[in-house]
Homo-oligomer: A and B are copies of this chain.
């Protein structure tokens, strides 16, 4: 039960109704006996700065979690951005330093790799096809590069976004083969949908999976529905899958540590 003394986290996004974080964090807080809550805040891109300026003045705010479409813009609202956030060019968590300053970092990539590891799947040596070079996609690319992927091919309707991510990957991971390219189902063995396609029932598939290699893994960042069309198509082909839910669970522990809570399951 929330009281006047409860420590508050917020999650800002647009739309916000389908985010899982309030329930996931809520269950962990309850299980651990931690008096804290995480609150959904729906805000448009145009209003983000005014809303964040206000949030920064709450004296009882433990931190801000960030979801689509604000992860890139939010980087500009932090006083200090840690290395993964800088490399990705986006952040999904901000915390107060206690003296008026705010620090930020990006945890999506850690979450996706953690979601693979939990199922006994390894990124080592994989050829990755990434759909979507936004905040979540970029973070996943960095996370997979750190976890030993051999190649990352980035596809985005906005070619400049894809090029920017590939340049950052090349600078940070000289051993990695990084390039702008669409999926090549004859060769890729890990496809990840990091676009918003799949959140709406009427969305088209982000990529046709016909011809997927045996053993290739299919991932999707969408958390609602739990099984978006891309994951459903992969399962019909017998492919191992990494859901948004798996990625989300992997983030909780890391985010909890960042905000100063022990949320290990």
A residues lining the B interface (CB < 8 Å) = 1-6, 8, 11, 14, 16-23, 26-27, 37-44, 47, 50-55, 57-60
A186 CA / B55 CA spacing, docked (Å) = 51
Check A50–B51 contact: CB distance below 8 A: no
Complex partner residue of A58 from B18, B41, B53, B58, CB under 8 angstroms = B41
Interface contacts beyond A3-B40, A4-B18, A4-B22: sample of 7 additional A-B pairs, CB < 8 Å, sorted by A:
A2-B22, A4-B17, A8-B39, A8-B41, A14-B59, A16-B60, A41-B58
Check A2–B16 contact: CB distance below 8 A: no
Most B C-beta atoms less than 10 A away, residue of A38, A44, A60: A60
User: Known: A26-B2, A54-B53, A55-B54. Is A39-B39 also a contact (CB below 8 A)?
Assistant: yes
Check A4–B40 contact: CB distance below 8 A: yes
Check A58–B43 contact: CB distance below 8 A: yes
Check A22–B39 contact: CB distance below 8 A: no
Complex partner residue of A16 from B4, B19, B39, CB under 8 angstroms = B4
A51 CA / B54 CA spacing, docked (Å) = 4
Q: Chain B contacts of A39 at CB under 8 A?
A: 2, 8, 37, 39
Check B59–A43 contact: CB distance below 8 A: yes
Q: Chain B contacts of A38 at CB under 8 A?
A: 2
A19 CA / B4 CA spacing, docked (Å) = 5
- A84 → chain B closest CB, angstroms: 25
Check A8–B51 contact: CB distance below 8 A: no
Complex partner residue of A5 from B17, B52, B57, CB under 8 angstroms = B17
A53 CA / B57 CA spacing, docked (Å) = 11
Pull 13 A–B residue pairs with CB atoms less than 8 Å apart, ordered by A: A2-B22, A2-B40, A4-B16, A4-B21, A5-B17, A6-B22, A8-B41, A14-B59, A16-B60, A41-B60, A43-B59, A53-B54, A54-B55
Q: Chain B contacts of A17 at CB under 8 A?
A: 4-5, 60
Closest 10 A/B residue pairs (Cβ): A54-B54, A47-B57, A4-B19, A42-B59, A5-B17, A42-B60, A2-B22, A51-B54, A4-B40, A4-B17
A8 CA / B41 CA spacing, docked (Å) = 8
- A164 → chain B closest CB, angstroms: 29
